[in-house]
Amino acid sequence: MKEPILRAMDALYNVCIWSAGAAIFFMSLIIPWGIFARYVLGSGSQWPEPVSILLMVVFTFVGAAASYRAGSHIAVAMVTDRLPPALRRFAATVVHAVMLLLALFMVVYGVKLCRETWGQTIPDLPWMPVGFSYLPVPIGGLFTLLFVLEHMGFGPQNHRAIVRFDHDIDHGEGAN
């Protein structure tokens, strides 16, 4: 049962990093276009700013979930690194509990925010509901929730063997 869960989490992690990477890539193309259109062509486009903001929200919330799983999120470990092992484990448990609560908050209230603003439109993008622009909040919260549960159940991802999609698992034994 462990292997299918880890494979699913690896796939979800890949979706997160590719989505966040695509968001930052397209944002880096759209923003210069907006500047070019405004200052060189003399007529500013209406869509680059709201689309860039939406992409930044995707990058932030989905990228944060991937960052949490990879163990590269912002963490102040100055105090916890100096604690005895038992207190360090307790602090880690508290952090995971707080992360679960935060992720659950993002899912519940993010869905509520999306529902309540779905009927509104963005003035510069009248075809896009405002609620759509908030979708990365509950989605990122759900991904974070799943990654926290994975971390609590199976340990940190960066301390496990890599689960490959070709049905081979590297158990850390000598490779040829």
- Tens of pLDDT, residue by residue over 97-106, are 999 999 999 9
Task: Say if CB 161 and CB 151 are below 8 A apart.
Answer: no
**Given this model, what pLDDT does residue 134 score?**
94
Q: How far apart are CA 117 and CA 126, in angstroms?
A: 13
pLDDT band at 174 (very low <50, low <70, confident <90, very high): very low
Assess whether pLDDT exceeds 90 at residue 167: no
Tell me the average pLDDT across 124-140: 92
Task: Say if CB 140 and CB 61 are below 8 A apart.
Answer: yes
Stated pTM of the model: 0.83
Assess whether pLDDT exceeds 90 at residue 125: no
Which of 84, 88, 99 is CA-nearest to residue 150?
A: 99
User: How many degrees, rounded to 5, is the angle at CA 104 between CA 103 and CA 108?
Assistant: 120
Q: How far apart are CA 151 and CA 145, in angstroms?
A: 10
